[in-house]
Chains A and B, each alone.
Chain A
């Protein structure tokens, strides 16, 4: 199997980010909270990316920050995708009242403004990382559900699905053998997007006083801490932003490649 160059770059970058996240304490030159220099020092041999808004080593903070960001975003994305897609497909194949019930329930959840929803839910639950992932994944799965259902409904009325049903295949077969392979491309494209949204969402959570506790950090948080300087040519906020962007692009390059492979799997003209 030959991997195209773009996908290779994506894979390598993604791998580097994940490895850096896993081995953060071994790689980072300084501690995440350690104040080592003056405010916003330019990059030097001692501090490869310079220092942040209170004089901590930016590189070390980025490495530790990547850990939180990547872990929470990955876990929440996987959660939202499995729940959202499976329920969406299920609603389609079951059809009728089940479909109406589930779809309208999802509409209901989606129509409550996220801010109010998060405030209410998190006020009655303890704020820990697992709860955070659950809430984020759950809220997001409603969006995935809608897409999965919309795609699946189109597929469900195709002749080959009908054929499968006439053959006497059960719902499980229809979902996993007929709908899933045919719905994969939009879903994979969506997954790449959702991952980015999760990365950004982690940082907006600090607005609610949730998310990552200081002196810890996530990439979005580091952008925010250093954003003041950006307009005066102090680039400290750009590094984490670039990190998010490159991670996003590499994850999506990988997603595109998977998308290509799946379209050719369908046995078209490849």
Chain B
């Protein structure tokens, strides 16, 4: 049997056997699926990455109104393009830790208030200029200046000063924050020459590729950067094609027009996986689909109404019918096992009797109006219809209003008291809670204001004792679970797919789409 396995491993490594075929034959030899998967990864890695070739990536989310300016990046296409040409000081590693990119190393003062980042020596921008500490300072300045439009401004606000000192950059914080490196791993904070102040959309950075042509909303073509300092990047040319229609994206993959796609619709993922020559990968992550109620608006200001809504949702049914099993049930907090300090809370189950009990107790007897739209998350109107039915079983009447996709994020989300939405998640609890659940947060989309919660959050930032910190986050989770306006039925998996013309997929601990958007760089075209 061993010979046979070795032979199979060789065939996979050489690209002569697809992943599925390998798994099928390995299990026929009596191997467990887990062992086969591990062996497969080994086999592929042992064969080694092949250099060269053109990789074509079909992604959802691009628009002709996009810009290459990293400060304005909001979608998967923009993020994937940034990964090609640029780098932050540090980036998130597959195991969930932070690894140095433009910064070679970093350290903090014992109280986590002052952080020092050492710039990697001898690296250049793609325009040939050396990277200096001043470039980093200017970049941080561009994202935090009074007149910035950067999506990273919220991150920059806790930083009181950024100074260059020789080949190091020193960040001083207003309050201690043990998570600063995670914050600086943000994809908006790409180091650009002179901070990118002259031409923010020039796409000049230290990344492994150089943008050759970019037609926004259509395609971006990049070629290998011959002077790149690291060993990232296998294909000679990477082409990102924007394919927003779900069916078209899958069809382009199946017919071999592209090698890799993101966002396979969960409903058809199982069927896509059955197609020959196609591999589907699902990755657990922190993203979640939510129903959000404003805690300061009647009737949702009554915690019994919120509890009734929480008991009246059938989470498993949503995971089955909206995510088709490509996800896991939520528990009315935005945190799941993909966060470092996660503590399990007892799962709240669908219980029409309890929902009815709390609803009656609240004294409110009107109907509930839920606003939704197709773009608030995939399948949102369907999820709303399911919710309506499960609430009806508890005698609660919910009306659904479908809002236009157009303008949903400005007119409905964070404005109307009860609507559907999604969160992509953040790398740490602190960031997630600070973004959306701190009383003063701009995006506090449930209008949740709890003094105890706020105090715990600030205290946890500076807490360097892991056990204590974990307990603090557990307490905060409980507060949200019992009192918050967040009704979180499900965490969605990221579902990506490739053809068997490319290889090298790695499962990561820190789950995001497309190996945290590194898949085009880390995978390779099988010759």
Could you list which residues of chain A lie within 8 angstroms of chain B, going by C-beta atoms?
33-35, 39, 53-55, 119, 206-210, 213-215, 225, 227-229, 231-232
Contacts known (A35-B386, A53-B267, A209-B373); A228 close to B403, Cβ less than 8 A: no
Closest to A127 in B: B404
Q: Within the assembled complex, what's the spacing in Å between the Cα atoms of A119 and B404?
A: 10
| B268, B324, B373: residue with the most chain A Cβ atoms closer than 10 Å | B268
Mark the stretch among B109-117, B141-149, B377-385, B511-519 that contacts chain A: B377-385
Contacts known (A33-B385, A33-B388, A54-B382); A228 close to B246, Cβ less than 8 A: yes
Contacts known (A54-B321, A231-B247); A207 close to B405, Cβ less than 8 A: yes
A209 touches B400 (CB 8 A): no
B388 touches A232 (CB 8 A): no
Choose one: A54, A206, A210, A213; the contact of B386 (CB below 8 Å). A54
B402 touches A213 (CB 8 A): yes
Q: Within the assembled complex, what's the spacing in Å between the Cα atoms of A232 and B274?
A: 10
B404 touches A208 (CB 8 A): yes
* 11 cross-chain CB contacts under 8 A: A33-B385, A34-B389, A35-B385, A207-B405, A209-B403, A213-B400, A213-B402, A214-B381, A214-B400, A231-B250, A232-B268
A55 touches B321 (CB 8 A): yes
B198 contacts A by Cβ under 8 Å = no
Choose one: B268, B402, B404, B408; the contact of A229 (CB below 8 Å). B268
Complex A-B, nearest 10 residue pairs according to Cβ-Cβ distance, in ascending order: A209-B404, A215-B385, A232-B271, A214-B381, A54-B382, A54-B321, A209-B403, A35-B389, A214-B400, A228-B267
Q: Within the assembled complex, what's the spacing in Å between the Cα atoms of A214 and B381?
A: 7
Closest chain-B Cβ to A72's Cβ sits at a distance in Å of: 16
Specify the main secondary structure of chain B where it touches its partner: helix
Contacts known (A33-B388, A209-B403); A214 close to B372, Cβ less than 8 A: yes
Please give, as numbers and ranges, the residues of chain B lying within 8 Å of A209 by CB-CB distance.
373, 402-406, 408
B406 touches A214 (CB 8 A): no
Closest to B318 in A: A54
A215 touches B400 (CB 8 A): yes
B401 contacts A by Cβ under 8 Å = yes
A227 touches B247 (CB 8 A): yes
Please give, as numbers and ranges, the residues of chain B lying within 8 Å of A227 by CB-CB distance.
247
B404 touches A210 (CB 8 A): yes
Please give, as numbers and ranges, the residues of chain B lying within 8 Å of A54 by CB-CB distance.
321-322, 382, 385-386
Please give, as numbers and ranges, the residues of chain A lying within 8 Å of B324 by CB-CB distance.
39
B233 contacts A by Cβ under 8 Å = no
Given contacts A214-B382, A215-B384, 20 further A-B pairs with CB under 8 A are A34-B389, A39-B324, A53-B267, A53-B382, A54-B385, A54-B386, A206-B374, A208-B404, A209-B373, A209-B405, A214-B372, A214-B381, A214-B385, A214-B400, A215-B385, A215-B400, A225-B382, A228-B247, A228-B265, A228-B268
Q: List residues 428-457 of chain B with CB under 8 A from any CB of chain A.
A: none
Closest to A36 in B: B389
Closest chain-A Cβ to B272's Cβ sits at a distance in Å of: 8
Please give, as numbers and ranges, the residues of chain B lying within 8 Å of A208 by CB-CB distance.
404, 406
B251 contacts A by Cβ under 8 Å = yes
Closest chain-B Cβ to A34's Cβ sits at a distance in Å of: 7
Q: Within the assembled complex, what's the spacing in Å between the Cα atoms of A39 and B265?
A: 15
Q: Within the assembled complex, what's the spacing in Å between the Cα atoms of A63 and B267?
A: 25
Q: Within the assembled complex, what's the spacing in Å between the Cα atoms of A54 and B373?
A: 17
Q: List residues 319-365 of chain B with CB under 8 A from any CB of chain A.
A: 320-322, 324
Please give, as numbers and ranges, the residues of chain B lying within 8 Å of A34 by CB-CB distance.
389
Q: Within the assembled complex, what's the spacing in Å between the Cα atoms of A180 and B308?
A: 63
Please give, as numbers and ranges, the residues of chain B lying within 8 Å of A214 by CB-CB distance.
372, 381-382, 384-385, 400, 402
Please give, as numbers and ranges, the residues of chain B lying within 8 Å of A206 by CB-CB distance.
374, 402
Q: Within the assembled complex, what's the spacing in Å between the Cα atoms of A39 and B325?
A: 12
Q: Mark B286-300, 1 if CB is under 8 A from A, else 0.
A: 000000000000000
Q: Within the assembled complex, what's the spacing in Å between the Cα atoms of A129 and B223?
A: 54
Q: Within the assembled complex, what's the spacing in Å between the Cα atoms of A122 and B267?
A: 33
Closest chain-B Cβ to A212's Cβ sits at a distance in Å of: 8
Please give, as numbers and ranges, the residues of chain A lying within 8 Å of B322 by CB-CB distance.
54
Closest to A56 in B: B385
Closest chain-A Cβ to B445's Cβ sits at a distance in Å of: 20
Please give, as numbers and ranges, the residues of chain A lying within 8 Å of B401 by CB-CB distance.
213
Q: List residues 387-420 of chain B with CB under 8 A from any CB of chain A.
A: 388-389, 400-406, 408
